[in-house]
Amino acid sequence: MTPPALARRILRASLPQIDRDDVLANLDQLYEERRTRRGAGHANRWYWRQALTFAVRLRWPRLATSNSTRRPRADISAVLYDFRVAARGLVRAPTYTVVAGLTIALGIGATTSIFSIVNGVILKPLPYPNAQEIVVVWRTDQGVTRGVLSYPDFDDWRRENSTFASLGGHAEHMGVFQWDEGATQLVGERVSVELLPLLGVRPVLGRWFTDDEDRLDGPRAIILHHRLWHQRFGGDTSVVGRTIRVDDRPHTIVGVMPPEFLFPVATRDYWIPLREDETLRDVGFDRRTRYLNFIDVVARLQPNVTAEAAVADLAAIGQRVDGRNNFGAGLEGLHEHAVGGVRFMLFVFLGAVGLVLAIACANVANLALSRATSRSREMALRSALGAGRWRLARHMLAESLLVALAGGAVGVAIAAGGVDLFLRIAGDTIPRSHEVSLDGVVLGFATAISVLSGLAFGLIPVLQNRSTRLDAALRDGTRGATVDRRHHLLRDGLVVTQIGLAVVLLTGAGLLLNSFIRLTSVDAGFDPNNVLTASVSLPVERYASDDVVLQFFDDLVTRVGGLPGVTRVATSYSPPFAGSNFQQSFLVEGQDPVPSDQTPWAGTVIVGGGYFQASGVTVLRGREFDVRDRGGAPRVAIVNETMAMTHWPGEDALGKRFQIGSGISGAAASLDPRFLAREWLTVVGVAADVRRRELGDDPIPEFYRPHAQMAWPAMSLLVRTAGHPEQLIGALQREVWALDPRLAVTDVSTVRELLHQSIATPRLRMTLLSAFALVAAFLAMIGVYGVMALTVAQRTQEIGVRMALGAARTRVIGEVLARGFRMTGLGIVIGVGGSVAATRVLSTMLFGVSAYDPLTYTAVTGSLVLVAALACYLPAHRASRVDPLEAIRAE
Amino acid sequence: MPRETLGEFEHQVLLAILQLGGDSYSAPIVMEMEKRSGRDVAPAAVYIALRRLEQRGLVQSTKEEPEPQRGGRGKRIFEVTPTAIEKLRESRRAMESFWDGLDPVFEKR
């Protein structure tokens, strides 16, 4: 049992950093004591009370000591008096208070939610000391814009540079961990010895790596993440010095990193030294080769060194080798590197909720206006009795501020839920999402926008009040003021603004929705339903020859194929949408040699037998791979349509030949000398294009090779099932362990789920903007309805008299509707104008839809007109039902 | 300006620390005060009182080494300074002089 999370969050935010941990730990202990003594409900209530007490006492010590002998200063007491009177007035008008407060709470809640995301992801510095000095460095070369480095190039950079205080390298690592109960594969990071000290985060236990441990022949060491330490060792402090088996080799645990250390991304469970280029040696590469690029570089700039000087320094080092004149470098801040990709999207969200807040403010301003109007007699009276204008204004502002602050408080509670909801919808699409919290900055922001909103909607009735003529108001409290045209104008103006803003949001959301629908209806090129995928990677030590590897996968396919509910099974190098991005260069037979920077590239996919049936990818011409395509047989390939059309335009690609080139690019795990064997491949089939990474990507040239001719040891299974594929997960794992209990099954997922994840970002954008737009439209329609209803209510007598004199009902309805439509129409015209200007910023987020898509604009305006008609019709209908006798009697 | 005399609450905090003897970090202090007064005591009030007492030199605190069972956080242990002992003694003496000779009044009821 833990204390209520939100209360804990409030506590965290209000405590000074220095005592934070201590107080929280003490409160936890007291909470636990209360819970065992008096039950969880009591303890939770108690904890909440303590959280609020701490917050109030530490943030506003004066409030807590108000009963002391200190006397408030005179002007403070006057302001407090205003607030007290305002509070009494609000309590007497509960409907106004609740409706206005909730409207504002909705606006502030939405704005605060998005702001806390922006704050945690973009505004907060990274959790490293002097994080602004840390940069990400990359290599540029002919045709390479952001290249990773080979080990020798990295080594040259770190030893010979004169512009960096420190420069470290890292690369992803997937390790098979041997536990007592079996093997699991985890994802960690290989880091050079400089990297952890460079980032400056100390381990909570143990130490960083030593120079020795980063050498090829040094002792093997591993540092665990706090999470893994807790999962596997229950937080046992004696783990340092213990040995665990990773990739069949003993590693000594030398340290544990704190939970907030999430380098380079949140999913890393451990770190091991780079050890020069060990994995390359394992697969038989020449250690000094500069063609195999896999190291990401992070560095700390020396003080007073410019980015340009550093880049020139690194480029010069690279150019010293083998006359690589095109060798260059580039860099950007680590923070920019981490969040640059989502900054724009988050600011679009922030802008969108800002509009929602503006609409909410306009709504409340209208409410406040009607309230001020109905109280104009009271105001006039107070004014006549000698209250100055400033005094009256202060009173009205105090009321607005109270409503806004109360709304803000509810808004913060909404935001607490809103942030959780957002992060759940966002999934992995937002970096640093674990750093998002309702901290002091966010609470300050919420307070500030509450005050600003309060001023915004409070000033409008104040300004209006200035124009009220005292005598008219005194003579007849309600009617005298309403006939004033200026009030109508002000109110209608607010409604027009609301509609305009709502149109902008609706258009934006409509465009994203339209674009999302187009994206999801793209033909992926295969059938994603009822397919389970899982990866199995065979360690080279125990699966050294091609025959052993092929035998294993043949056995596995046979065994899995025999499971009940499985209709087809095949293997492939990477499942669709799993993010693998492996390409190599090639030369087409009979074509003129081209300069090296213009050689064509294509994606390579290794597939086992039966792949095309299991995946549902259509072979358009020629044949599939079969038993003929054995290891010793002539090398064959199946190319996709794009490759066929790009390289053999106007001809039949079948029977044509191409040769594997010397270029290779992909993740470290895919770098293997076998890929570089300069073999000639004969095209035996042409397959339909497949969207392999994202639905929105244009298909790239790709070719398939049979697994039998390229015995790759790490393959994914594609299991097509009759029923729900998830039910097979357990059985699949058992079949792998039946063949080899030391193997880990990884990346288990359905293809539908992978497809779902590949469109997570567009879905997030569409969902969020649609939600904001619907709230905006709802608020705007309430605004329309409110103004129309008020007008009808105030004109009851006039309408009654006219109907008594013979005016037709339809005419009365028509008049009221006409005013509503004038406002809506004007709002839409302004809104469409605004949309044309504003949706341009969305153009980079759109797929297959123009930012000026006429269909979207028509749909948005059309539906808005319909809803507005309904919002106007209800009050108009009521107007037509006015009983003339009643109305006149009231006079 | 720090006040010269001890408030009732501060009094209780100081005595609770002394009653505890050794392991006097804030959670046991709160529990000790609740036990002796029979009422709920707000940790925030104790926290603020301790901070104020520390500023006035009446308590001093030391941070202990982190303990794993507390999520790796160390306790802040509070000790009553000699100045505070002197103040407590003074105030007890003053109180007792007020009580002097009133026993018959209270024994009646």
Which residues of chain B does A57 touch, with a Cβ-Cβ cutoff of 8 Å? Answer: 44-45, 48
Q: Are A136 and A337 in contact (CB under 8 A)?
A: yes
Q: Which two tokens stand for residue A743?
A: 């193997």
Q: Work out whether the CA dihedral A803, A806, A808, A814 comes out positive or negative.
A: negative
ipTM confidence: 0.84
Which carries the bigger pLDDT value, residue A676 or residue A185? Answer: A185
Q: Which are the contacts of B88, defined by CB distance < 8 A and separation ≥ 6?
A: B6, B11, B14, B15, B80
CB contact under 8 A, B76 and A33: no
User: Tokens in use for A323?
Assistant: 């006359």
DSSP A714-729: EEEEEEEESS-GGGGH
**Rounded CA Rg of chain B:** 16
Backbone angles phi, psi at A191, to 5 degrees: -130, 145
- Among A691, A571, A572, A708, smallest CA distance to A635 is for A708
User: Is A25 close to B70, i.e. CB distance below 8 A?
Assistant: yes
CA distance A859 to A849: 14
What is the residue-averaged pLDDT of chain A? 84
- pLDDT tens digits, A602-630: 888 899 988 998 888 889 999 999 888 88
Q: Is the pLDDT of residue A666 over 70?
A: no
Higher pLDDT, A890 or A507: A507
Chain A CB contacts of B52 under 8 Å are none
Output the pLDDT for position A774.
92
| A27 neighbourhood in chain B, CB within 8 Å | 27, 43
Q: What does the alpha-carbon distance between residue A570 and residue A574 come to, in Å, rounded to a whole number? A: 12
| B30 at interface of A, judged by CB pairs closer than 8 A | yes
Distance, in Å, from the CA atom of A660 to the CA atom of A675, rounded to the nearest integer, reads 8
Q: Which residue of A has its CA nearest to B64?
A: A22
CB–CB of B48 and A26 under 8 A?
no
Q: Which of A308, A152, A301, A177 lies closest to A232 in space, CA to CA?
A: A177
Dihedral angle computed from the Cα positions of residues A742, A747, A752 and A754, in that order, rounded to the nearest 10 degrees = -170
Interface test with A, best of B23, B63, B70, B75 (most A CBs within 10 A): B70
Contact across the interface for A50 and B43, Cβ inside 8 Å: yes
List pLDDT tens digits, range A487-513: 778 888 888 999 999 999 999 999 999
Distance from CA of B79 to the nearest CA of A (A): 16
The whole-angstrom distance between A52's CA and the closest CA on chain B is 9
Q: How far apart are the C-alpha atoms of A164 and A2, rounded to whole Å?
A: 46
The maximal CA–CA distance of chain A, rounded, in angstroms, is 107
Q: How confident is the model over B2-22, as pLDDT tens digits? A: 446 778 888 899 999 999 887
Residue entry with tokens 């005298």: A480
User: If you search the block for the tokens 């063949």, which residue do you land on?
Assistant: A739
Q: Which residue of A has its CA nearest to B43?
A: A50
B43 to A23: CB separation less than 8 angstroms, yes or no: yes
pLDDT one-digit tens code per residue, A431-481 = 888 888 888 899 999 999 999 999 988 888 777 766 555 555 555 544 444
Q: How far apart are CA B29 and CA B12, in angstroms?
A: 10
Which residues on adjacent β-strands are paired with residue A299? A135, A167
Q: Decide if A140 contacts A147 (C-beta within 8 A).
A: yes
Full 3-state SS string of A615-684: HCCCEEEECCCCCCCCCCCCCEEEEEHHHHHHHCCCCCCCCCEEEEEEEEECCHHHCCHHHHCCCEEEEE
For strand A601-607 and strand A583-588, is the pairing parallel, antiparallel, or unpaired?
antiparallel
Tell me the two tokens of residue A390. 């400033």
Q: What are the helix and strand counts (H, E) for chain B?
A: 5, 2
Q: What is the average pLDDT across A751-759?
A: 85
Q: How confident is the model at residue B95 (pLDDT cuts 50, 70, 90)?
A: confident
Q: Distance between CA atoms of A694 and A754, rounded to whole angstroms?
A: 10
- pLDDT tens profile A403-436: 999 999 999 999 999 999 998 888 778 888 888 8
Question: Given the structure tokens 């990193």, which residue do they identify?
Answer: A257
Q: CA distances (Å), B31 to each of B16, B24, B58, in order?
A: 9, 11, 21
String of b and e for A168-198 (b: at least 16 CB within 10 Å)?
A: bbbbbbbbbbbeeeebebbebbbbbbbbbeb
